[in-house]
Amino acid sequence: MQNHVAKFSRVGFILSAAGAAVGLGNIWKFPYITGVYGGGAFVMVYLVTILLIGVSLLIAEMLMGKRGGADAVSNFQTEAPKGSSWAWTKAGYLFVIGLIIMTFYSVVIGWIFYYLYVAVTGLPTSQKEAEDVFNALYSNAPYLQMALHTLSVVIVGVVLVRGVKNGIEKVNVVLIPMLILILLGLMFYSMGYDSFGKALSFMFNPDFSKLSGEAIIRAVGHSFFTLSIGIGSIMAYAASLPKHTNIFQAGLWVAFLDTFIALLAGVVIFSFLFQFGGEPAKGPGLVFMSLPVIFSQLGGIGIVIALLFFLGLAFAGLTSAISLVEPTVMYLERRWSFSKGGAVFWSSLLYFAVGILVILSISDGFKESFTIGGKPLFDALEFAVDSFLMPLGGILIALFVGFAMKRDIVEGELLGHMGNTVFKIWYFSIRFIAPLAVLFLAYNALKM
C-alpha cells in the first residue's frame, strides 16, 4: 500500500513539473518556428540541443532550487562560496526575463480564449476561412486582443495572489495526459491522410542546406524556452521539493514529456496543414489556421474536441505563465518585503503595459510606430528571448553549478541518483559543453 502511495506521488510530481514546462512553447511556438525555419534541420538542432545541453541544464537548475530553497537572487548568493564575485551575487536577476516573456505570452493566451469562443460559435470550414478568422484577430482587432490580454493578466494575478498555485498545478495531473491523448487521437486520425508522410518528412528529414545561422540560434534558444530553463522558474518550483527527490529522474521525464508533446503537435499540425493545401511558414497563426479546419470537418464531436483542445492549451499556457511571473513575485516579497498583492500588482502592471504595445505592434493602423530594427515589437521580443536572453540565463546557471558551487555539494545531490559515469558526463556537459556552445552561438549571433 505504502509503495503504491509513494509511486503515485512520484508520478504526480513529475506531471506537475512537466506542467510548468509544457506550455504554448510546445503547441503554439514549436510548430510555428519549425515551419518558418524550414523543418527537418531545424528540428534536428532543437533535439540535439535538448539532449546535449537542455537536460543537463534542467537538472542543474533544479539542483540550485532544491538546495537554495529561495528566490533566484538569494540562491545565487547563498549557494556561492564565501567571497564570491559581484557577478555571481547579481546573476539571480535573470528572473526579469520571465516578465519579458509574459509581454507576448499573455497576448497569445488571449488568442486561445478567443478560439474557445470560435469553437462554440462556428469553426472555419476551409483553410482560407481559417486564415481570415485568424488574420482578422491578429491584425485587425487590437481592442479585443487588449481585453483578452487583460483577462489573462487577471487570471494569472488572482492565482498568484490567492496562493493557489499548488492547487492549480494539480490540474496538470489531468491536463498533461489529456493533451497527449487528444494529440495522439489527432495523430492517428491524420495517419489516414497522404499528407502524414509528407509531414513526417518535413519534420524529420533534415536538409542542412536550408539551415541558416538564425535558424540555429532560434532552435537552441527555443530548446531553453520550452524546458523553462534559465529564468529561475524551475528554481522557484524546485525550492519546495522534498530533500529525497530524485532530480535526475525528474529532469529526464520532464524533458521527455515536453519534447514528446512538441513533436506530436508538430506532426499533427503539419499533416492537417499539408492536407488542406497550406504552407508551413505561416508564422504565429499556424496552429490557429490548421487545426480548426479539421475540427470543423469532424462535425459535432469536432466541436467537443476543439473545446477540450483549446481549454487544455489555455490551461497549459496559464500554468506556464504563473511560473513565468512567480520568480519576480517571490523576489519582491522576500527581498523587498512587498505584500503578496503588491508584488503581484507591480509585476503584472509591467508586463501588462508592454503587452499593450506588443498588441499595437501587430495591429493595422498602429504597427508602423512600434517596430524595432524593422521587426514588430512582438517579433523583436520573441527573437530577443530566443537568441539572447534564455541562452544567457542558461549559461549563468551552467557556470554557477559547474564552477562556483563546490563539487562535493553537487556530487552529494546527484551521485546517488546518477551513478559515477553519468555524473561525470553531466558535469562535463554543465562545465564545458553548455557554456562553450552558448558562447559560440552568441559570437555568431553578434556577427549576424
Binding residues for ligand PHE, rule CB under 6 A, total: 15
Helix 96-121 × helix 377-384 angle, to 10°: 130
Q: How far is the CB of 101 from ligand PHE (least distance, A)?
A: 6
Residue with Cβ nearer ligand PHE (25 or 40): 25
Rounded Cα distance between 64 and 42, Å, is 31
Site string for ligand PHE, 384-423 (x = CB under 6 A): ----------------------------------------
Please report, for residues 14, 100, 186, 356, the alpha-carbon distance to residue 227 in angstroms, rounded to integers and kept in the order given.
13, 17, 24, 27
Residue with Cβ nearer ligand PHE (26 or 361): 26
Q: Is 296 in the site for ligand PHE (CB under 6 A)?
A: no
SS3 for 329-383 is HHHHHHHHCCCHHHHHHHHHHHHHHHHHHHHHCCCCCCHHHCEECCEEHHHHHHH
Q: Which stretch binds ligand PHE (CB under 6 A): 21-29, 145-153, 274-282, 297-305?
A: 21-29
Q: How far is the CB of 26 from ligand PHE (least distance, A)?
A: 5
Site string for ligand PHE, 109-128 (x = CB under 6 A): --------------------
Among 18, 159, 217, 231, binds ligand PHE (CB under 6 A): 231
Residue with Cβ nearer ligand PHE (227 or 360): 227
Residue with Cβ nearer ligand PHE (145 or 226): 226
Rg (CA), the chain: 21
Residue with Cβ nearer ligand PHE (99 or 418): 99
Among 76, 114, 115, 225, binds ligand PHE (CB under 6 A): 225
Rounded Cα distance between 314 and 296, Å, is 20
Q: Minimal CA–CA distance to 105: which of 139, 160, 155, 36?
A: 155
Q: Is 228 in the site for ligand PHE (CB under 6 A)?
A: yes
Rounded Cα distance between 359 and 73, Å, is 31
Rounded Cα distance between 311 and 442, Å, is 37
Residue with Cβ nearer ligand PHE (33 or 146): 33
Q: Which stretch binds ligand PHE (CB under 6 A): 75-83, 224-232, 345-353, 394-402?
A: 224-232
Q: How far is the CB of 47 from ligand PHE (least distance, A)?
A: 15
Helix 300-336 × helix 142-161 angle, to 10°: 60
Q: How far is the CB of 21 from ligand PHE (least distance, A)?
A: 5
C-alpha cell, 122: 462556428
Give the phi and the psi of residue 376 in degrees, each rounded to 5: -60, 150
| Helix, strand or coil, per DSSP, at residue 275 | helix
Q: Is 319 in the site for ligand PHE (CB under 6 A)?
A: no
Binding residues for ligand PHE, per CB under 6 A? 21, 23-26, 98, 101, 225-226, 228, 231, 233, 320, 323-324
